[in-house]
Structure 1
Amino acid sequence: MTAKKSGASPDKRRKYDEVFKAEALRLASESRSTQAAAQQLGIRPKLLYRWQQA
């Protein structure tokens, strides 16, 4: 028997528009840490790091 997970399906990704990404990058550049900026925005730090590298 398998347990059923509740909540959103892991197959569905959130999509962020260019305006949100630009604001996130601006906030990260003004912040002391990318991790703190990501936490403030409610996104994972790894995602913000990837946007900075792009």
Structure 2
Amino acid sequence: MAAKKSFPLRIDPELHEALERWAGEEFRSVNGHIEYLLRESLKRAGRLPGKKSREEE
């Protein structure tokens, strides 16, 4: 597995609470859920290397 890049993230407390609830419903950590959401957004936008956007499919 490739090493992961660490960096600090400042986030609004209300946004964090909403992410925490959503992540819990999906059985993920907040960090894992943020990574999932970012990856899905990049896929849809066609900006993830090797992936097409849904509009292009």
Same fold (TM over 0.5): no
Please report the TM-score for the alignment, with normalisation by the length of structure 2.
Answer: 0.37
| TM-score, normalising length: structure 1 | 0.38
Structure whose CA Rg is larger: 1
Q: Which has the higher contact order (CA 8 A, sep 6+)?
A: 1
